[in-house]
Amino acid sequence: MKKTLLVFIIISSLFSIKAQTTVVDSVFVGGQYRSYRLYVPAIYTGATARPLILNLHGYTSNAQQQQLYSNFMPIADTANFLMVFPNGTYSSGQRFWNAGISSALVNDIAFLNALIDSLDLTYNINLNRVYSTGMSNGGYMSHTLACELSNRITAIASVTGSIFNTQYGTNCHPTRPVPVMQIHGTNDPTVPYAGSSSSMPVDTIVKYWVTKNNCNTTPTFSNVPNTSTTDGCTAEHYKYLNGTSGSSVELYKIIGGTHTWPGFPFGGSGTNMDMNASKEIWRFFSKYSLSTLTAVNESEQLKNTLKVYPNPATSVLNFKLENESSVSVIIFDVLGKEVLAETTQTNFVSIDKLKSGIYFITVKTENGTEAKLKFIKE
């Protein structure tokens, strides 16, 4: 997605981006520094945990362009969520996301997983409400996160993205229902609505997630009011409801739409202006939290009885679960790799073999109830 310098000068002058609320930083993952831009709304105080949205750029684009292009900032300023715009790595001189293309390439799942944890150390992130959206290649990557990082990503929205045929069926393993929104133009020349030799048709993608989530197979349908008669396209809205744990799948089918973000004022003919994709994505995301979509019974009461001390720990780390006699303990590092698993017939576990780093512990009782906590080994 290439945009001229002139277009972005115009966008920058029209859209309000406060320099003091856009943090430019990086995180070290996979042997390299990975950069990102974080938008923090002025109303954020850190007093309460706030949602986080990953917003992923398209192929050849970058974080700054995606921030301007999708223009979520006014929505974040009102709804009080944080939005991070990560940068992909380079392939043949162009930035891209390894959205299930090849395991031999950069591990972007590990990067985005670590980025969530890194931001959570500095900001008060509601880890029950972390979402991913993206344009084109960023939409592909959002689908990949729904498939392979469903323990972290609550729901996703893909704009002009798809799923590679090689991922379909065999390389998509969500552990619970993942709400999905797909926004796609029927005249998209870059990622065809009808699919290609490498990518799934959009209708097949929708059916795939409807089946995964056990939603109603017959959607509710409505036409988006044609408020803009000069954009060369119209929009249809399909909602597949009543999935497992309240999940759903939504499709905005842009009739005559091209490879663009609906609501972007400089997209030209084929950019739908009857709807604002960013507003619709937040409407969709705001309905869901990870705890209500997780198949296991994760009890807040159990979490409150789980004691981890000292935290941070310099040597021995102790775990104690009140009122339980037998528990299973699994510890993961920041990349989601399991580093320890054991079952004990007591409610006390002491561990001294962990290297320095950030970890997550999952404790499960005999009746299947789970509690999860983060801790640090110095």
Residue 15 has pLDDT above 50, yes or no: no
For 360, the domain range is 300-377
| Predicted local distance difference test score (pLDDT) of residue 5 | 36
Residue 92 has pLDDT above 60, yes or no: yes
Residue 305 has pLDDT above 70, yes or no: no
Q: What angle do CA 174, 367, 178 make, to 5 degrees?
A: 15
Compare 309 and 235 and report the one with higher pLDDT: 235
Which of 266, 293, 320 is at the close of a domain?
293
Residue 258 has pLDDT above 60, yes or no: yes
For range 115-122, the mean pLDDT: 96
Q: Tell whether 14 and 125 lie within a shared domain.
A: yes
Q: Tell whether 263 and 317 lie within a shared domain.
A: no
Q: Tell whether 316 and 205 lie within a shared domain.
A: no
Q: How confident is the model at residue 110 (pLDDT cuts 50, 70, 90)?
A: very high
Q: Tell whether 307 and 213 lie within a shared domain.
A: no
| Predicted local distance difference test score (pLDDT) of residue 170 | 72
Helices and strands (H and E) in the chain: how many: 9, 19
Q: Tell whether 96 and 38 lie within a shared domain.
A: yes
Q: What is the pTM of this model?
A: 0.76
Q: How many domains does the chain have?
A: 2
Conformation bin of residue 195: beta by default, left when phi > 0, alpha when psi is -120 to 50: left
Q: Tell whether 354 and 283 lie within a shared domain.
A: no
Compare 7 and 105 and report the one with higher pLDDT: 105
For range 63-76, the mean pLDDT: 97
pLDDT digit string, tens, across residues 126-142: 999 999 999 999 999 99
Lowest mean pLDDT among 49-53, 119-123, 320-324: 320-324
Q: Tell whether 280 and 335 lie within a shared domain.
A: no
What whole-number percentage of the chain has pLDDT above 70? 85
For range 16-38, the mean pLDDT: 84
Q: Tell whether 272 and 370 lie within a shared domain.
A: no
pLDDT digit string, tens, across residues 239-249: 999 999 999 99
Q: What is the CATH number of the domain that holds 304?
A: 2.60.40.3080
Q: What is the CATH number of the domain that holds 102?
A: 3.40.50.1820
Q: At what angle do helices 137-148 and 108-122 cross, to 10 degrees?
A: 80
| Predicted local distance difference test score (pLDDT) of residue 1 | 46
Residue 97 has pLDDT above 70, yes or no: yes
Q: Helix-strand-coil percent breakdown of the chain, rounded to 5? A: 25, 35, 45
Contacts of 70 (CB under 8 A, 6+ apart): 55, 133, 135, 261, 264, 277, 278
Lowest mean pLDDT among 50-54, 204-208, 313-317, 366-370: 366-370
Which of 260, 293, 326 is at the close of a domain?
293
Cβ pair 256, 270 in contact under 8 A: yes
Q: Tell whether 92 and 237 lie within a shared domain.
A: yes
Q: Tell whether 143 and 190 lie within a shared domain.
A: yes
Cβ pair 319, 361 in contact under 8 A: yes
| Predicted local distance difference test score (pLDDT) of residue 303 | 60
Q: Tell whether 192 and 340 lie within a shared domain.
A: no
Which tokens go with 196?
């290609």
Q: How confident is the model at residue 265 (pLDDT cuts 50, 70, 90)?
A: very high
Helix (H, G, I), strand (E, B) or coil at 377: strand
Q: Tell whether 137 and 159 lie within a shared domain.
A: yes
Q: How confident is the model at residue 84 (pLDDT cuts 50, 70, 90)?
A: very high
Which of 293, 315, 346 is at the close of a domain?
293
For range 322-344, the mean pLDDT: 71
